[in-house]
Structure 1
Amino acid sequence: MVDANNQLSGNKGIHRTLLNRKNVAVVVPGMLALCCVILCPCFYWKRKETTTVVLAKDPDSVGSLTTRKSKSATKKTPGSPLREKPNPRFSSPPRLTKVGSIHINLDQVVKITRNFSPSMVIGEGEFGTVYKAQLEDGRFIAIKRANKEHFERVKALLSSEADLLAKIDHRCLVKLLGYLDEGSECLIMTEYISNGTLREHLDGIRNGILEFKNRLEIAIDVAHGLTYLHIYSEKQIIHRDVNSSNILLTDSMRAKVADFGFATLGTTSDSDKSHVSTKVKGTLGYIDPVYMKTLQLTTKSDVYSFGILLLEIITGRRPLEQNKSDHERVTLRWLFKKFDEGNVEELVDPMMKEVVDREILVRIFILAFQCAAPEWSERPDMKIVGEQLWAIRMDYLNTVK
C-alpha cells in the first residue's frame, strides 16, 4: 500500500510537469491510462477493506441497511379521508371468548345480568333477547343472547353477525365489544346505546318530540354509516335490515345503525358479478321489491330501505299502517299520491310543530322517492344520498337563520 502511495505521489508530480509542456496533448492520454492502472486496483482494495472492517465491527449493519431501504420503498398511499381508521383489535374473526376491550367469561356474564333476569331485558328479537349489563369498571354494555329455540341456527347467525361486526369500526355503527360461544350459550356484546330506538322516538315513547333538525341529522348519520359499509369497510357489507327499530340514538341524538343479524358480504371489487344471490331477509315494508322478486341483492337494496326510512323519519308513519284504510295502508303509495297532488305540508309528522320551508320538504321527499325507485338503476348510491342530505341541512339552517 505504501509503494502504491509513493507511486501515486510521483505520478502527480509528473502530471504537473507535463501539463506545462507544449506537447501535453500527446503525453496526457498516456499518463491518464497509467494512473487508471495504478489507482483503480488501489481504490478497489481500499473499498473491500473498508467493507470488511464494518462487517467485523457491526454484524447487523447489512440488516439495518436493508430495513431502511425497504421502509422507503414501501411507502403507503394515504387512505381516503372518508374512511375510518381500521381498528387493530378487530383484525381477526372473533372466535375466541374475548374480543376488543371485553375480557369476560360465562360466569361473569351470568353475574352482571343477574342470571339473565327479565328486569335487565332491553329488547327482544328473532335471534334472542338483549340485556343491559354493567361491567366492574362502570361501563354499560348490551348483551345479545341466542334464543334457545332453534339454537344451532341462531348460533350460526350470531356468529356471522360477530364476524361482520369485527370488520367494521365507524361512529355511526354499533361497535362489537365481545363474543362468547360456550356450551349452550352464544352471546354478542356490543356498546350500550342509552336513548332507545328511532321508532320509539317517532312514537313519542321517549321524552320530547324529534324536531326537524334532529330528524335530518339522524338521516345523515344513517347515510354515513351505510356509505361506510358499502364503500369504505374492509369488505363490502349489505345490511339488509335497515329500519327504524334498528337505528339507536345516543343521549346527544346521534344515530347508530345496529342489528347486523341479516347483514351479508356484497360483491368484491375484482368480481364480475353485480349482485349476490340469497334468500330474502329483512323487515316487511322495507324490503327492496327487486330483491324480493329476483333474490338478487346489491347495495341498492339498502338504498331502497333507506328511502322508506327517510319517509318514515319525516312523516312519522310506518311503511305499512295496518290500522289505516286500504288506500292509505301502504305509506309509500299514499305519500307519492299526496305529493303528486301538491299536498306536501300535509305529509309532515303532525307531532312536529315546527314549520319547515316548503322547498326543503320537497327536496327531501324527492330524494326519498329516488331512493325507493322501482329499479336499481334509478336509485342513487348512499354516498350521493349523504351528500345531498348534507346540502339540504345547510340550506335548512340558512332558512332558520
Structure 2
Amino acid sequence: MSHSSIFSLLKNLEHLKIRLQEIKLATHNFSDTYKHYSSNDYDARYTVALNHFDKGKPSFVEEKGKTTQPKIHNSTVIIKRFLPRDDEDEEEFFFTELEVLITVKHSNIVTLIGFCVEGFEMMLIVEKFANAFLADYIGNVCTLTWETRLKICIDVAHALSYIHSGLEDKKMIIHGNISSFKFGLDENWRTKIEDFESAVILPPDIKDQTLYKRPYFESKYHVDPDYANTGKLKRESDVYSFGVVLLEIICGREADDQIYLKESDKGLVHVARKNFRNGTIEGMIDPTLKEETNKKGCIPNRGANKDSLQTFLKVANQCVSKTQDQRPTMKVVLNELEKALVFQVS
C-alpha cells in the first residue's frame, strides 16, 4: 500500500484504535506469561483480557455538544504483534491483513477487534478461539467425528468461496497461505480463517489476471507447486492448499507426518496421488472413521458413510491436481463437501 493509502485507511479506523499503553498494561509489558503457543519468528501473539469499544462504533459520540463514551467490553482476545523481518516487509504484511479484515464480513472469517500503530509497534487484536486451531486436532482424531470434520471443511469452503467470488464490490481476495494452522475453532466447532498477511486483494477489472508475488509459505507441504515454481498466485493456489488440508482431515495425519516422508520427501500429497492411481487410497483413511470408536475419552462415532468418504476423496484429489487449470473452483468444492455431508447425515 502507498503511504497515502495507509494514511487514509488509518484515518477511517479511529474507532478501532487501541492504545499501546493499554496493551502493555494488559500483557504486563509483553510478558512471556501471556504469549500464545502459536507465536513464531514473524509475529508474537498474546492471550489477554482487554478493554475495547463496541466493534464498528467510534470511540466517542458527540451529541448536543457533549462527548459520551459508548459501551466498553472486556473480553479475552489475541494480540498479534508483528515483529521486524530481515526483508523489512512487516509493514506490508500488517496493513495487508488489516485491510482484509475490515473489508470482509463473514461468519467464517476471524473478527477484528482493534489495532495499534504507535512508534515501531504494529499489532492486530482479534477474537480468541475457544478450541485453538484445526492443526491441534489432526492426529488427535478421537475428538472429531466424521460429521464434525465435514462441517469444519464446509465452514472453510464457505469462507474461501466468499473471498474468491462473493465480495459485494466484486473484488477478489486470495489468502495465499492456507494450512490447518490458519483455521480457528470456537466452542461450537465453528471454523474461522485467520492470518491474512500474505493475502492479495485484486480489484474487479483484473480479477482474472495472474498475479506475481514473492512466494512465502510457512509449510512447503501445503504450497501450490505452480505458485512455488513460478510465483504466479491465483485462486487455484488456495484450492490446492485447501486440498492438502482435506487430505489431512480424512487421513488423520499432518502433511509432513513421518509415515509419508519415509515414502516421499514431498509428503502427504505425493503419497496420496500414488494411492489414487493404484486404487488403494482407502487404505490411507483414518481407521477410526470406518468403525465405531469405544476408546475412553472419545466422542462416540458411528463411522463414516462410504458414499460420503468417496465424494470427499474425489474432490480432495481434484483440489491437489498438479496444474492450476485442473482444479475446481471453491464453489464446486463447497457443493461436493455439502453433498458428502448429506450422505453422512442421511
Compute the TM-score of the two structures, normalised by the length of structure 1. Answer: 0.70
Q: Tell me the secondary structure at the aligned position of residue 305 of structure 1.
A: helix
Aligned to 1:58: none
Aligned to 1:132: 47
Aligned to 2:310: 362
> Rg larger in 1 or in 2?
1
In structure 2, what is the Cα distance between the partners aligned to 1:99 and 1:310? 39
Q: Tell me the secondary structure at the aligned position of residue 117 of structure 2.
A: strand
- The answer (yes or no) to whether the contact 2:173–2:200 under 8 Å persists in 1 is yes
Aligned to 1:382: 330
In structure 2, what is the Cα distance between the partners aligned to 1:325 and 1:197? 23
Aligned to 1:95: 10
Q: Does 1:119 align with 2:33?
A: yes
Q: 1:272 to 1:358 in 2, by over 3 A?
A: closer
1:211 deviates by: 0.9
Aligned to 1:309: 245
Q: Tell me the secondary structure at the aligned position of residue 163 of structure 2.
A: helix
**Structure with the higher fraction of residues in strand conformation:** 2
Quick one: which amino acid aligns to residue 107 of structure 1? Q
- The answer (yes or no) to whether the contact 1:143–1:188 under 8 Å persists in 2 is yes
1:97 deviates by: 9.8
- The answer (yes or no) to whether the contact 1:97–1:180 under 8 Å persists in 2 is no
Q: Tell me the secondary structure at the aligned position of residue 89 of structure 2.
A: helix
Structure 1 segment 199-238 matched on structure 2, within 5 A? 199-204=135-140, 209-233=143-167, 234=169, 235-238=171-174
- The answer (yes or no) to whether the contact 2:163–2:174 under 8 Å persists in 1 is yes
Structure 1 segment 1-400 matched on structure 2, within 5 A? 94-96=9-11, 102-122=16-36, 123-136=38-51, 137-148=73-84, 150=86, 152-204=88-140, 209-233=143-167, 234=169, 235-266=171-202, 268-271=203-206, 274-282=209-217, 283-322=219-258, 324=260, 326-329=262-265, 330-350=267-287, 352=289, 353=293, 354=301, 355-398=303-346
Q: 1:97 to 1:328 in 2, by over 3 A?
A: same
Quick one: which amino acid aligns to residue 24 of structure 2? V
1:150 deviates by: 4.4
Give the aligned length.
Answer: 303
In structure 2, what is the Cα distance between the partners aligned to 1:324 and 1:242? 20
Structure 1, unpaired ranges of 5+? 1-91
Q: 1:240 to 1:296 in 2, by over 3 A?
A: same
* Greater RCO (CA < 8 Å, at least 6 residues apart): 2
Q: 1:157 to 1:212 in 2, by over 3 A?
A: same
Q: Tell me the secondary structure at the aligned position of residue 18 of structure 2.
A: coil
Aligned to 1:10: none
1:370 deviates by: 0.5
In structure 2, what is the Cα distance between the partners aligned to 1:125 and 1:93? 30
Structure 2, unpaired ranges of 5+? 1-6, 52-72, 294-300
Q: 1:241 to 1:99 in 2, by over 3 A?
A: farther
Q: Tell me the secondary structure at the aligned position of residue 176 of structure 2.
A: coil
Q: Tell me the secondary structure at the aligned position of residue 270 of structure 1.
A: helix
Q: Tell me the secondary structure at the aligned position of residue 129 of structure 2.
A: coil
Q: 1:250 to 1:99 in 2, by over 3 A?
A: farther
Compute the TM-score of the two structures, normalised by the length of structure 2. Answer: 0.80
In structure 1, what is the Cα distance between the partners aligned to 2:87 and 2:224? 29
- Runs of 4+, deviation exceeding 6 Å: none
Quick one: which amino acid aligns to residue 257 of structure 1? I
1:276 deviates by: 0.7
